[in-house]
Chain A
Amino acid sequence: MTTRDLVLVALFAAIMVVLGLLPPITLGFIPVPITAQSLGPMLAGCILGARRGFLSMLLFLLLVAIGLPVLSGGRGGFAVLAGPTGGYIVGWAFGALVCGLIAQRLVREGQNEIAQIAAFVAAAFAGGVVVVYLFGLVWLSYATGNAFLPAVAASAAFLPGDLIKVGIAALAGRAVLAGYPLLPQRA
Chain B
Amino acid sequence: MLNGLDIEGTSPLHRMPVRGKLIVLFTAAIGLFFLSDLRLLLPALGLAAAVFLSTGIGLAEAVRRTRFVLFTVLLVAAANYVIVSPHEAAVVLCRLSILVLLAAAITATTGISAFMDEIARLAAPLERLGLVRAADISLAVGLVIRFVPEILARYHDIAEAHRARGLPLRPLTALVPLIILTLKDADTIALAIDARGFRRH
Contacts and interface: CB of A to CB of B under 8 A. Distances in A.
Interface residues of B, number: 72
B162 to A, nearest CB: 14
B110 to A, nearest CB: 7
A45 B102 CA distance: 34
B103 interface: yes
A62 B92 CA distance: 27
Interface in A12-49: 12-15, 17-18, 21-22, 25, 36, 39, 43, 47
B117 to A, nearest CB: 11
B183 A14 contact: no
A6 B141 CA distance: 11
Q: Is the interface of B mostly helix, strand, loop or mixed?
A: helix
A98 to B, nearest CB: 20
A144 B72 CA distance: 11
Chain A, interface size category, equals 35 or more
Given A76-B107, A81-B103, A84-B76, A39 B2 contact: no
Most buried by A among B106, B147, B183: B183
B51 interface: no
Interface stretch (A104-112, A120-128, A175-183): A175-183
Interface in B117-173: 119, 136-137, 139-141, 143-145, 147-148, 151-152, 155, 171-172
